[in-house]
Chain A
Amino acid sequence: MRKKIVTSVVGIALAAAPFAVAQSKKPAPKKPAAAAPAGKAKSSTSSGMVVVKDPVTGALRAPTAEEYQALTNGGTVSGGTSRTSGPQTAVKGGGAVAEAAVGTQVLHPDGTVSVRLDDSHAVFAVATRTPDGKIVLGEVTGIQAANAAVSKTGKAKTAAKGKADASNEK
């Protein structure tokens, strides 16, 4: 039962990405978020596509100018300038949040805003065996960084516990 739900969600999520790309409007010089490879999703989220969950139909659509304004200037806390300036993309469909592309802000009828995340924000634990045979655990953000940490074995940056530089040097 649980399994079934999950499988269907995955299906929608995978299908949504190419669909969002196909629907991108003309003036979209930047890569649409959904098209960005996982590791580049940080830049995709900051390019910031936005869609609106229509209050009447429940479907996702491009925001009106007013909605866009409300979404991107919604009282940003001081110090944070909004970088939500990317292309607006219409995504049709049933209205599940998972349907929106990764990094796309979805404005819901009650004012809630959601963003689906991908591997670029996940924290990956990496284990490395040190020359003396110990296993040291560290972490990196995103699958690309995780892959890179493994590829340079022994050089993976890991947090050292305790006091550094305690040698009896001068």
Chain B
Amino acid sequence: MRNKTLALLTGAFLCGASLSQAAATVTIVNNDGPGVGFNDPTPALPVGGNDGTTLGQQRLNAFEFAARKWGATLTSVPTIRIRANWQALACNAGSAVLGAAGATSVWRNFAGAPRVNTWYGAALANALSGAALDPGTPEILARFNIDLGKPGCLTGTFFYLGLDNNAGSSVDLVAVLLHELGHGLGFQTFTNGSNGAQLLGFPSVYDHFLLDSSLNKTWVNMTNAERAASAIRTGGLAWSGPIVNDAAINVLTPAPGLNVTAPSSVAGRYFVGTASFGPALNTTGVTAQVMPVVDQADGRTGLACTTLSAVNRVAVAGKIALVDRGTCTFNVKAQNVQAAGAVGMLVVDNVAGTGVPPGLGGIDPLVTIPSVRILQSDGNALKAALVTRSRTSSPVVATLGIDLLLRQGMNRNGKMLMYAPNPFQGGSSVSHFDTSASRNQLMEPSINADLTHEVKPPQDLTYKLLQELGWQ
């Protein structure tokens, strides 16, 4: 609160205009020796808006560009200092450590801390308290690989030092920096996700917003074992905070879905995995009763790998056919139910899964009906509701299409999904948005080629998550 007031006053004095302008000074503290890293005198040609005339100056320009981007986004009275240098980091011909960034210290129970007994990274702790808690130490440490691209160090693949997001096959230094600085600014838990142990027994502020939808608990209210299980619950770990989730509705793309409208026992929105054959789903969708194919001895499984029987043909004609995965390829199933008059196909997975189901691969120009995969658990729920069907009529009614109320990267309750692969991936798990996000997000665990350099809506949610933690 206090720092916000000060920042607003500063803005007023400086420009007398926009009082809502964000204001933080983010400085790069050059920690390289003479002739090295940022001070490398090797002549360089201008590239992508970076007009430094030496390699060192171009490196510094790229760092300062990323720093200015964050400075223009965040508000902090204390300067945010990034101690940065270039050094040899592990690499070989085919892979390389690009670099790292992180908070130099964490703080709890400082004046102005919104939550007690909770760790905050140094930069955010300073911003919240309105003054540098440790004036002698930069808040973030960044190191980058000085050898990248040289023989034996991801040979031939260099950092792109341009500022125009046009890296081509090179590694976009600005994008990597924006991402790593995002972690350094607070987009990270300090809790150990593989065993659930909190740092010295206290949660990180990030943990207050990690919601496990199976346990319906946040990470601060879990045991170590529950946290460790939550960290690998793919599709089940979400962000609880309204700042991110309200913004995500407008940033992320509507998702393909199955909207079941009857009966009430199974009504709701289900994620589907789309097919690479057949027509694309659209926002109008296909609305019909859902009817199962049953062609196996157990009386409840339908593989639809051969021409449908007369009974099955009567059942699925004009309906969305429900079939089971297995034995034959997906497009063969689609051909068979299509030949029987079905208007769509749901393939129930034959292995357990969570979150958004995988798609259906294959190419088949003969298929003209939409086909999708649904989770095994969702399929079982639908089958339970289908036991009351007649030969020609089903109680289950659904629309298959692009669901304007679902988002790619959010769960069906409108919560942003966090990355929770199984097995656990230290460094990637938990401290990123899930890879199902579309449009692609800066803080996904893999930096995607189509990213902009934006950190806030309408393109990106990184700033929103930082706001949730307490940043202005």
Contacts and interface: CB of A to CB of B under 8 A. Distances in A.
Residue of B200, B273, B328, B428 contacting most chain A CB atoms (<10 Å): B200
B137 A97 contact: yes
B131 to A, nearest CB: 12
Interface string A52-81: 000000000000000000001011111111
Given A98-B136, A158-B446, A114 B107 contact: yes
A84 B440 contact: no
B141 A122 contact: yes
Interface in A2-42: 2-3, 5-10, 42
Nearest to B201: A82
Interface stretch (B4-12, B61-69, B98-106, B310-318): B98-106
Contacts of A158: 445-446
B133 interface: yes
Given A77-B202, A136-B446, A170-B329, A159 B435 contact: yes
Interface string B104-120: 11111111000011110
Contacts of B329: 168-170
A3 B133 CA distance: 20
A51 interface: no
Given A138-B428, A139-B428, A164 B109 contact: no
Contacts of A146: 89-90, 97, 100
B427 interface: yes
Contact of B95 (A141, A156, A160): A156
Given A6-B138, A123-B427, A147 B90 contact: yes
A112 B109 contact: yes
B136 A127 contact: no
B29 A2 contact: yes
B50 interface: no
Contacts of B127: none
Contacts of B83: 6
A76 B95 contact: no
Contacts of A46: 197, 199-200
A149 interface: yes
Interface string A115-133: 1110101111111110000
Interface in B400-457: 419, 421, 425-428, 431-432, 435, 440, 444-448
How many residues of B sit at the interface, in one of the four size bands?
35 or more
Given A6-B138, A77-B117, A149 B197 contact: no
Contact of B445 (A5, A119, A138): A138
B469 interface: no
Nearest to A147: B90
Contacts of A84: 200-201
Contact of A127 (B95, B141, B200, B428): B95
Nearest to B104: A117
Contact of A3 (B29, B134, B198): B29
A142 B330 contact: no
B361 interface: yes
Interface in A147-170: 147, 149-151, 153-154, 156-170
Contacts of A76: 117, 201-202
B459 interface: no
B361 A169 contact: yes
A123 B102 contact: yes
Contacts of B20: none
Interface stretch (B221-229, B237-245, B285-293): B221-229
B95 A122 contact: no
Nearest to B122: A114
A168 B330 contact: yes
A77 B157 contact: no
A74 B201 CA distance: 10
Given A6-B83, A76-B201, A146-B90, A117 B109 contact: no
Given A79-B222, A137-B171, A114 B134 contact: yes
Interface in B322-365: 325-331, 356, 358-363
A156 to B, nearest CB: 6
A9 to B, nearest CB: 5
Contacts of B427: 123-124, 138-142, 145
Nearest to B353: A165
A84 B221 CA distance: 19
A163 B107 CA distance: 39
A76 B115 CA distance: 12
Contacts of A119: 100
B446 A161 contact: yes
Nearest to B171: A127
Contact of B360 (A135, A142, A168): A168
B97 A96 contact: no
Interface string B189-205: 01010000111111100
B108 A112 contact: yes
> Nearest 5 A-B pairs (CB), nearest first?
A168-B362, A122-B102, A82-B201, A140-B427, A159-B445
Interface of A: 2-3, 5-10, 42, 45-46, 48, 72, 74-84, 96-98, 103, 105, 110-117, 119, 121-129, 135-143, 145-147, 149-151, 153-154, 156-170
27 contacts: A3-B30, A7-B31, A76-B201, A77-B220, A79-B220, A79-B221, A80-B220, A83-B197, A112-B110, A117-B102, A117-B104, A121-B102, A124-B427, A125-B176, A126-B98, A127-B96, A127-B171, A141-B426, A145-B426, A145-B427, A163-B273, A163-B356, A166-B361, A167-B362, A168-B360, A168-B363, A169-B329
Given A82-B201, A125-B97, A159-B428, 19 more contacts: A2-B29, A7-B31, A9-B137, A46-B200, A77-B220, A79-B221, A79-B222, A105-B200, A112-B109, A113-B107, A116-B104, A121-B102, A124-B427, A129-B157, A139-B428, A146-B100, A150-B90, A153-B92, A168-B362
